[in-house]
Structure formats: C-alpha cells, structure tokens
Structure 1
Amino acid sequence: MDSDAGQWSHLPKDLLAKIAGRLDTRIDFLHFRGVCSSWMSSVSPTFPRKNPILSLKLPYPIASNANLNICDPDTRNPHGSFSLIESTLYYLQPLRQTPDSKEALLVKLEEPKPGKGRLMDTLSRCAIQHLPKNFPKVLNTLNFRVREVGKAYGLRFFDVRGKPITSFEFKSILIKKVIMFSKGDEYGLMMIHIRGRLALWRLGEEKWSLIDDGAEKSHFDDVIYYKGRFYAIDYKGRIVVIDADSLKATELASPVHGSRGTHKHFVESFGELFLVDKYLDDELQIFCNDYSDIVADVPDYPVHFEVFKFIEEEQKWDWVSDIGDRVLFVGDDRTFSLSSTDFPGFKGNCVYFTQDCFCEEDDDRPGFDAGIFDLEERIAGPLSAFPGYSKIFWPPPAWLRPQRS
C-alpha cells in the first residue's frame, strides 16, 4: 500500500495539472489538492472557473423606455452593466456519524470573488447579512463531508452612475428567473423578465433574442432546460417547448389538467420532469372541485401543492400522489431534487418551498420562510412543524465550527 501511495505522489506535475483540469466541481478540486503535498503543489489553490459567462458584461436583457435602457440597439448603454451571478449549494455532514444519523446542513454560497464566499438564503436570492459570532469565518472542507448539490444563477445590475435607481428603472432590470445551459462548447442563458417574457442569449451574441411563443400576450411562471430543449409554462398552465437551436416554440397538445394554482415550478428529478403546482387560499377550492374523487374536503391550511409527472413518450402530464423518497425543492432562483435515502436529514415524498406566512421575527437566517408539504399526509407547515427535519438549513451545528485545541 505504501509503495503504491508513493508512486501516486510522484506523478508528473503536468499530468496532475491535466487531471485537475478535468474536474467539474470545486469539491472534487479541493479533494484532489488534499491527497498529498505534491498534488497540492501541482495546481493553483484557486478553482479555475470553467463557465466563460461569469467574467463577462452582458447585454441588456430587454428593451424599454426606462432611462437605464437604450433606444438605439447599436449603442452600448453607458449607465451600467449586467453580470451573471453564480451560487453553489453544498450538502454538509460531520466526518464521524452513525449509519442512521440525520445530521446534515444544506448551505448556499455565492462567490463574488475567487476564494471569497457569501452565505445566501437556501431557497431564495437573499444574502444573509448578520451571521452569529460563532459561525466559522473559513469553511475547511477537510473538517466535514461535502457534496455539491447544484448551482443557481441570477443576473445582477451594476450601476456606474452613482445615483439611486427609480422604481420605474428597477422594474425594467428585474429578472424573474435565469437558467444557464451548455451544449458542447456553446454556453447561453434563458431568462424570464418580471413582465413574464422569455429571452435567450448565447455566448458571443450582441443581444438577447425574444422568444415568440405564438400567443398575443404571455406571462411565464417558469422555464427549464431538459434534454436539449426548453420547457416554459405560463400562469394558466399552458406549456411551450422551445428548440435551443432554432428558437421555434411549439405548444404541447396536452395541457396540464387541474393545474390552476398560483405559481408553477418545473423540477428535474433523476432524469424525469415534474411540475409542482402551488395553490393558495381560494384556489384550493378549485383544485378540490377538479379532483373531487380523491379529495374530500378543502385542506385547513393556507398553502397546498400538487405534483404532475411528464410522460415523455405520450407527451402528457399525469397527476401523482406519491414520489417515493424524492424531495422536491422549489426556490426563487432554482428548483432541484434529492433522494432522502442518499441525503439523510430531508423528509422524503415532500416538497420544500418558501412562504411568507412562515416568516418569524428573526428573518435573517437561511430558511427563514421555508416550509414542507407532505404529499402523504397532505399537510403543509413551517420547518418547525416537522421535528427531526427542521435544522437542515439552520442553525449551524457544533461540528461545523472548528474545535478549540
């Protein structure tokens, strides 16, 4: 064993550099550097960003009459610019744990500069402003188990005028949703503006392309890149499929029966596509009328979810009452899915979401307005209503903090 380890530690530095260059995540890169001193010295301590869009100033996503935007599409706006902001979700566990332990923490970190992280709310775009004194200044990944869950993106406007942005100007630059996609060496972004319009931009293009979905007036709730195509859904439940190359939009022939909630989210889960429909207050009665054969009474809580699964072969959506050990997360800037079997600490067959009615006085912490909808029990509530699953976002556990010698 020792001789084998010695041989690995003496690999040529140019070969080690090539191996490190093929690593896709920061965690893999840090684990690579932690193998031995020779591996650590073979590469820079800073993870090389592979996303070429992160370092660019992006064109304005929309055109409006706001002062921040330009009337002449051939003139560069002098008042500021947009940049793509990337956040990474990490799943943390203590190094030592029993097989049935559920100790874990899910955190979201934004990295404005290499090596400098900022803690974000796990399911929203909000930054955490006031961390407790005992929160570690440096997260040493050698002190706990780390898995990268995924990334979230947003477009941030940087004003160079030094003047406040008016509410009219603010609406013109507000982006509802951004997703990044890549196809070979091609990178691009698809976004939903606050007005509900879809637009796409590819690396190297000078402007965004508005998507013509064939409707006189559309207001989209969500969009996802799934198997080489974009799927977008509006607030009425109408779904269009957009080809990434031609940008041609085709409406799905089969609408989502019963999808009449307040907001709709796409979630990709283990290669399958799901739609999560959110109902609030009066809309619950609409759902119960549609599914009177399975729902006896209107639920006695302010929020309700229904889940539909996309049957790709038949191009239709089926209502599902059970998703097994899957956990679906519907946040402001990203949706994702995990297995409660592979990621202990989460409640399976549930939807994790955000809702204002769950906010508490101490609202400057990750998961401050998070809740769980249990598909089996058909109940929703704040994290505190689910003992054993309420600490997945906060507070920071003792094992996260460095031990005093």
Structure 2
Amino acid sequence: MNEAKMRPCWADLPCDLLSIIAEKVTTNTQYIHLRAICKAWRNALTPHPHHLPPQFPWLMLPPQPGISDAHVSFYDVARSKTYQFQLPYMSGKYYCGSSHGWIVLEHEHRVSLLNPITSRRIDLPSLDALPTLLISSDQHEGDEICIEKASLSCNPFKPGCVVVALLSISSYITTWKLVFCRIGDSQWTELKNENALRRVENFTLYNYLVYTVNNEKEISVYNLQDHSVRTFPSKLSSHLCVHDMINFVEDSGSSEPLVVRMITYFSDPEVHVYKWYDDWQTWCEVKDIGKRVLFLNERHSNSIILQCDEKQENKVYYDVDHLTDPTFKSFHVGLNRVNLESGMVVRLSWSLLYPYEVRLSRFPLWVTPSLI
C-alpha cells in the first residue's frame, strides 16, 4: 500500500516542467500523442504550438473508389506512414492547392481554407461577391471561373495574411486574372493585367510582393500595396524539349524567390534551381541549397523548401508524379531524388494497392502538416 502511494502521478506533473518536455517534441504526431496522455496534460498544453520546426509535407492521396471523398488519406514520406482523416467539409469540393499547412477549397465559386489536421476552417470571399472586379466587359454570363492556384503569404491566423489566387476564365477563349484578398475581406481585388496573351503560369509571394512567371518566361512583380506592376525582360534560357515546367518555391528562407525548373526531353528530366536577383533583373542557377528538401507537385506547381536536420542528405530534391500500371490494378506514386551538384537521379517509388479511378478534381497534393 505504501509503495502504491509513493508512485508518482504523471497527471500531477508541474506545468512548467511539462512545458519543457513539450518543447523537446519536434513533430506534429509526437505533440498530438503528448497531449493525449491524460486530461491534465491536454488541458495544460496548447493545441496550437508555435515551437515546432518545419514539418515534412504529407502527400494527400486521391480517394479510393467506393469510399466517400470525405475520407482523406495522407502519406508521410519521412516515416513511410499513412494517416487517415474524416473531413466531411472536403466532400464534393475542388481543392486548389495548399499553402502554409492549409488547403484552399472551392465549390460553386465559394472559397474557403481548411486545416486538415485541426479541422479549422476560414471562409474567403466568394468569386461572385459584389461589388466585384472579376467580371469585365469582355466576359459573358455563363463563363466558367476556377482557381488554378492559390497561395497564402503566411499562416492565416497571423496578422496581415494575404491570399493570392490565379483564376482561369473559360468561354470561347480562356483568359486569366490574378486576384487577392486579406482574411476578413468581403471581396477579391484584381491585380492589373498588362498583357492577357502572356499567360501567368506560376507565382509566389515575398514580403507582400507577388512574383509571377509567364509563358514567355518573363518575371513580373505585383505590389499588393499600390497595385503597381513591374515586368522584367530577363528570361530563363529556352530549351527545345518535350516539357518545360517552372515552379516557384513557396518558402525558401531567402531574400529573393527561388524557382525549380524541370526540363524533360525523352528521358529523365533535368532539374535546375534558380535564384532571382531583383537588383540585377536576372536568374542565377543555384548548385547548393544547403540542408534542405524541395517537394514538388506538378499538377498545381506547388514547391515547398524545408530546412532538414543533420540526418538528411544535402542538396536533395523530391518530385512526385502519378501513374497507372497497364492492368489498372494499382495506383503508383513515383518519387525522384536529385543531387543538384552531380545531377544524379535516384528513383524511389511505392504502390498503393487500390484501383486508379480518380475524378479529375482529385489528384495528389503536398500538404505541410500544421497545428496552427
């Protein structure tokens, strides 16, 4: 009896000591497990910690046939584990990309943000909100408007968060618009379109400046404060190739934007990383990005760069694509690792054993897990 009384009660651990323990946790899953120990620990620890280091992105997988699209699976590359969530809010919605741990969703021109880990949700202005700058004299009733890509300047719960979206407007011809809103705005604001024929293919945000690259490989910089735009004639060198894809890095930890370029001929793609120097108005190729990892999703041109720990290789780039085998019996995800100095490509892959029957609005997507 005396021995039982002398055993420590972990639920009575002092809050300051518990906080020290929590600060040693480095992953979202570890932190969630820590809060699940007991009711006292759950009450003492915030559900939205700010001390966690950058997390490796999870790959959000297409739904399995016959299973509700509210049943969402994520593949954790770093730990080779699959996590499953019930997210009823995602059912029937088109996801337009992810940024800072949040998924951008659209349904019947209603736009919202969802954190799949915490289920927190934020409504954004509807694309039909009035007064609106999205409908101009050259557009007609019945034109289809969809979001090709959306990106956030920071976590939406931080002050001054801006959401920028690239819209595709289809009627007899396809046009594009670049728009933005702040959290809490009632409408989207259109950024000036200098030349509709030079279509924006990708963009990123840096210090409330929107950097875009068009189909001529030109760089334009939009200022969200005064809505001005500067276009630089400097271009990336052109290549005679089958496929040339430009992807801005969302968070490079750099003072200037980074871009990942995949040039495909008839074999393995070449992967190049460039840094844009605003003062020189030119691109310079980067051969060393330090101990970082790039995750690239081709469908939405989302690139993410993360600081890695000492266990990770230096100068590593990851690319994902999705394929089907000839028998259509399984869904495969291919993963390539590229050393930027040597150019050596190592093919990695895994298979998910369910038929590949995915609607066009459902595709793999990198999502950085966040508890904020």
TM-score by length of structure 2 reads 0.55
Q: 1:353 to 1:8 in 2, by over 3 A?
A: same
Identity rate, percent: 16
**Secondary structure at 2:195 match in 1:** coil
Task: Please give the residue correspondences for 1:304-319 in structure 2 after superposition, counting only pairs within 5 Å.
Answer: 304-312=270-278, 314-319=280-285
Q: Which residue of 2 aligns with 1:330?
A: 296
Task: Please give the residue correspondences for 1:247-262 in structure 2 after superposition, counting only pairs within 5 Å.
Answer: 247-252=227-232, 255-258=234-237, 262=244
Is the strand fraction higher in 1 or 2? 2
Q: 1:170 to 1:243 in 2, by over 3 A?
A: same
Contact kept? 2:181, 2:188, Cα under 8 Å = yes
| Structure 2 CA distance for aligned equivalents of residues 235 and 322 of structure 1 | 27
| Structure 1 CA distance for aligned equivalents of residues 84 and 109 of structure 2 | 29
Residue 117 of structure 1: how far off its partner (Å)? 6.5
| Structure 2 CA distance for aligned equivalents of residues 170 and 153 of structure 1 | 27
**Secondary structure at 1:217 match in 2:** coil
Q: Which residue of 1 aligns with 2:105?
A: 155
Q: 1:215 aligns with which of 168, 172, 195?
A: 195
Q: 1:175 aligns with which of 147, 154, 159?
A: 147
| Structure 1 CA distance for aligned equivalents of residues 260 and 308 of structure 2 | 18
Q: 1:341 to 1:135 in 2, by over 3 A?
A: closer
Amino acid at match of 2:237: G
Q: 1:39 aligns with which of 30, 38, 41?
A: 41
Q: 1:307 to 1:244 in 2, by over 3 A?
A: same
Residue 40 of structure 1: how far off its partner (Å)? 1.5
User: For structure 1, which runs of at least 5 residues remain unmatched after alignment?
Assistant: 51-88, 92-104, 111-115, 124-133, 140-148, 161-168, 282-299, 396-405
What number of residue pairs does the alignment pair up?
271
CA offsets per residue over residues 21-63 of structure 1, 9 Å max, x none? xxxx96586366257542324579xx5799xxxxxxxxxxxxx
| Structure 2 CA distance for aligned equivalents of residues 10 and 216 of structure 1 | 58
| Structure 2 CA distance for aligned equivalents of residues 363 and 371 of structure 1 | 23
**Structure number with higher relative contact order (C-alpha < 8 Å, ≥ 6 residues apart):** 2
Contact kept? 1:360, 1:368, Cα under 8 Å = no
| Structure 2 CA distance for aligned equivalents of residues 158 and 48 of structure 1 | 31
Residue 342 of structure 1: how far off its partner (Å)? 4.2
Is the helix fraction higher in 1 or 2? 1
1:368 is the counterpart of 2:333: yes
Amino acid at match of 2:343: R
| Structure 2 CA distance for aligned equivalents of residues 318 and 336 of structure 1 | 19
Residue 120 of structure 1: how far off its partner (Å)? 4.6
CA offsets per residue over residues 302-332 of structure 1, 9 Å max, x none? 5322221123554432023443443222213
1:193 is the counterpart of 2:193: no
Task: Please give the residue correspondences for 1:98-137 in structure 2 after superposition, counting only pairs within 5 Å.
Answer: 106-108=58-60, 118-120=72-74
Amino acid at match of 1:207: Q
Q: 1:106 to 1:179 in 2, by over 3 A?
A: closer
**Secondary structure at 2:149 match in 1:** strand
Residue 150 of structure 1: how far off its partner (Å)? 4.9
**Secondary structure at 1:327 match in 2:** strand
| Structure 2 CA distance for aligned equivalents of residues 266 and 363 of structure 1 | 34
Amino acid at match of 1:270: G
1:264 is the counterpart of 2:246: yes
CA offsets per residue over residues 317-363 of structure 1, 9 Å max, x none? 2023443443222213431113454464xx5434322346x554568
Q: Which residue of 2 aligns with 1:69?
A: none
TM-score by length of structure 1 reads 0.52
Contact kept? 1:359, 1:369, Cα under 8 Å = no
Contact kept? 2:248, 2:259, Cα under 8 Å = yes
Contact kept? 2:330, 2:352, Cα under 8 Å = no
Q: Which residue of 1 aligns with 2:66?
A: none
Q: Which residue of 2 aligns with 1:290?
A: none
| Structure 2 CA distance for aligned equivalents of residues 121 and 196 of structure 1 | 33
| Structure 2 CA distance for aligned equivalents of residues 280 and 256 of structure 1 | 19
Amino acid at match of 2:264: L
Q: Which residue of 1 aligns with 2:208?
A: 228
| Structure 2 CA distance for aligned equivalents of residues 228 and 251 of structure 1 | 16
Q: 1:274 aligns with which of 258, 280, 285?
A: 258
Q: 2:343 aligns with which of 378, 381, 386?
A: 378
